[in-house]
């Protein structure tokens, strides 16, 4: 069995700078207790206004107690309520500066939206998902994931549904630079593959919720066989995250109309790109040569038969 990681905190402390506060709250939201979730929703609904409220006023708005607001602060990694107010004020100022005078659109799609409004909402959501994910991504953990993948004998990737496409993207990228990688989108096939894993191998699982059994079970099985395990999820306290050695997080703002196949996929692909480029950079010359060879192979096949030289010289 691999050496165990030290216990993780109940929730990762978000970057308390302006860029990370709201991203950290959104990341923690799915795993919060109902009363704490109401506090988070009140804060996210209007960060600027929330920063001006007393603790009792915020508790009243969230229909909960002052003690719950304090517990919420500790859960998201902020020491006390005054610090939360300062962080919210800075985050609200940052979002206002990024958005200028243009108000943020309502994020969900309605039945009466025009096509222009649909485009605006989709682009707004996806841009902010990338910004939030970048702010919340722990580069120290990312670096350890890059080390693990770069030095792995083989890399097995697990994902189902929309997450399967993200896994396939990473598999294709790794394969093009000569890394031994496999992608498994079927639970039984994934479990079979884990039987061949051991120390020196990497298992990476992708799940927006972190609760998909078809993804969680293979990752846990890979850990039992000694592989280094990496989770890519939007929920840092999910079952998948708790079972992984390394956790890479996204901060996608999902809405009822737009499921995990949309905004979350954009954020996941961005993190996958960061991981892949980090791995590719470790062997820069070899990677460049491999990419040129694979690109050249495709370009050669695209030429018309008359443009290809016959092996016999005819």
**Interval 266-277: pLDDT, tens:** 999 999 999 999
Domain residue limits, the chain? 21-104, 139-297
Q: What's the mean pLDDT in 146-164?
A: 96
Residue bearing the bigger pLDDT, 102 or 90: 90
182 strand-pairing partners = 156
* CATH fold label, 139-297: Rossmann fold (3.40.50)
Position 16 pLDDT exceeds 50: no
pLDDT of the residue at 109: 76
> Is residue 299 scored above 60 in pLDDT?
yes
Averaged pLDDT of the chain: 84
CATH class of 21-104: mainly alpha
Short-list 183, 178, 205, 206, CA closest to 282 = 178
Mean pLDDT of the 82-86 span? 93
Region 17-42: mean pLDDT is 81
Q: Do domains 21-104 and 139-297 have the same CATH topology?
A: no
**Measured distance CA(202)–CA(179) in Å, rounded:** 12
Query: What does the alpha-carbon distance between residue 71 and residue 67 come to, in Å, rounded to a whole number?
Result: 6
For 202-250, how does the pLDDT look when each residue is reduced to its tens digit (9 = 90+)?
999 999 989 999 999 999 999 999 999 999 998 888 999 999 999 999 9
pLDDT for 255 equals: 58
Instruction: Decide which of 67 and 259 is more confident.
Output: 67
Average pLDDT over residues 159-180: 94
CB 83 within 8 A of CB 18: no
Using the predicted structure, report yes or no on whether residue 258 has a pLDDT greater than 70: no
pLDDT band at 124 (very low <50, low <70, confident <90, very high): confident
Q: Residue 99: pLDDT band by 50, 70, 90 thresholds?
A: low
What are the b/e assignments for 178-208, b being 16+ CB within 10 Å? ebebbbbbebeebbebbeebeeebbbbbbbb
Report which of residues 137 and 204 the model is more confident about. 204
- Residues of the chain with pLDDT > 90, as a percent, come to 54
**Nearest of 100, 104, 91 to residue 17 by alpha carbon:** 91
Lowest mean pLDDT among 20-24, 86-90, 207-211, 278-282: 20-24
Do strands 228-233 and 202-206 pair parallel, antiparallel, or not at all (unpaired)? Answer: parallel
Mapping DSSP to helix (H, G, I), strand (E, B) and coil, where does residue 312 land?
A: coil
Q: What is the mean pLDDT of residues 124-145?
A: 88
């Amino acid at each position: 069995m691999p050496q165990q990681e030290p216990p993780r905190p109940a929730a990762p402390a978000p970057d308390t700078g302006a860029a990370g506060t709201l991203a950290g709250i959104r990341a923690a939201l799915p795993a919060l207790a109902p009363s704490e979730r109401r506090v988070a929703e009140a804060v996210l609904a209007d960060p600027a206004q929330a920063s001006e409220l007393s603790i009792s006023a915020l508790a009243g708005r969230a229909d909960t107690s002052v003690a719950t607001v304090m517990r919420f602060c500790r859960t998201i990694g902020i020491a006390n309520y005054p610090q939360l107010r300062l962080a919210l004020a800075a985050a609200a100022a940052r979002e206002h500066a990024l958005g200028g005078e243009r108000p943020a659109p309502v994020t969900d799609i309605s039945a009466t939206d025009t096509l222009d409004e649909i485009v605006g909402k989709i682009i707004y959501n996806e841009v902010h998902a990338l910004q939030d994910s970048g702010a919340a991504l722990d580069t120290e953990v990312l670096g350890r994931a890059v080390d693990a993948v770069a030095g792995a004998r083989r890399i097995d990737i697990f994902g189902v549904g929309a997450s399967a496409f993200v896994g396939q993207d990473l598999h294709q990228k790794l394969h093009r630079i000569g890394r031994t990688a496999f992608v498994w989108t079927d639970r039984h096939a994934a479990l079979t593959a884990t039987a061949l894993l051991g120390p020196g191998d990497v298992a990476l699982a992708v799940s927006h919720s972190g609760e998909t059994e078809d993804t969680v079970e293979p990752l846990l099985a890979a850990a039992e066989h000694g592989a280094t395990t990496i989770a890519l999820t939007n929920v840092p306290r999910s079952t998948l995250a708790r079972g992984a050695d390394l956790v890479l997080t996204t901060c996608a703002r999902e809405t009822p109309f737009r499921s995990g196949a949309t905004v979350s996929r954009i954020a996941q692909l961005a993190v996958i790109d960061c991981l892949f480029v980090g791995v590719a950079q470790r062997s820069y010359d070899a990677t460049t040569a491999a990419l040129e060879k694979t690109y050249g192979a495709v370009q050669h096949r695209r030429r018309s038969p008359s443009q290809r030289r016959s092996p016999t010289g005819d």
